[in-house]
Amino acid sequence: MSDSASWYVIHTYSGYENAVAETIRRSVENRKMQDLILETNIPMETVTEITDSQAKTTQHKMFPGYVFVKMVMTDESWHLVRNVRGVTGFVGCGNKAIPLTEDEIAAFGVEKEEVVVNFSVGNSVKVTDGPLEGFFGVIDDIDVEKRRVRVIVSMFGRETPVDLDFDQIAILENS
């Protein structure tokens, strides 16, 4: 059932985000609804404030007044979330909650997905897609966060750096 779970946004009274998230977690545990409501999240960002020549790092809510919930939308799960004290409703059209799209989930940083790369700087690669398809080169830099790699390709007798997506290269076996 958890395969059909989606992320939904709940609107709360400002300042009640932590209490709402904790109440949902406890209610899910008490009612044994872990298969319907999988996760609650309050997206946070780290902010460094410089005051009196001192750097102070604090956590701030990215979306005050909102809590993100990964759940399978049923009448039972909707009622559990909707009846939590401090919840004013789901974000959506009228009474219909609208799940977040994959792009929105990535943009909001709700779900962090760990990227594992099977290559490193210095590996020889072949470009498998794009205008330089078929060219060979050596990895010069890897940006895991952006899922990009800089490859040094030899074109017209010159070494040229090219930025490519991870899925545009293939590692050569003997590198």
pLDDT digits (tens, 9 = 90+) for 140-159: 999 887 788 999 998 888 99
**SS3 letters across the chain:** CHHHCEEEEEEECCCCHHHHHHHHHHHHHHCCCCCCEEEEECCEEEEEEEECCEEEEEEEECCCCEEEEEECCCHHHHHHHHCCCCEEEECEECCEECCCCHHHHHHHCCCCCCCCCCCCCCCEEEECCCCCCCCEEEEEEEECCCCEEEEEEEECCEEEEEEEEHHHEEECCCC
The Cα 65–Cα 15 span in angstroms is 7
Q: How many CB atoms lie within 10 A of CB 69?
A: 27
The Cα 102–Cα 128 span in angstroms is 26
Q: Does pLDDT of 128 surpass 80?
A: yes
pLDDT digits (tens, 9 = 90+) for 37-92: 998 988 888 777 776 667 778 888 888 999 999 999 998 998 999 999 999 989 88
Residue 63: its pLDDT value, please?
Answer: 87
Domain limits, the chain: 2-108, 124-171
What confidence category does residue 1 fall into, taking pLDDT thresholds of 50, 70 and 90?
very low
Contacts of 131 by beta carbon, 8 Å cutoff, 6+ apart:
none
Instruction: Tell me yes or no: is domain 2-108 CATH 3.30.1490.20.
Output: no
Residue 20: its pLDDT value, please?
Answer: 94
CATH fold, domain 124-171, is SH3 type barrels. (2.30.30)
The Cα 13–Cα 87 span in angstroms is 7
Burial zone of 108 (CB within 10 Å; 0-12 exposed, 13-18 middle, 19+ buried): middle
More confident residue, 44 or 30: 30
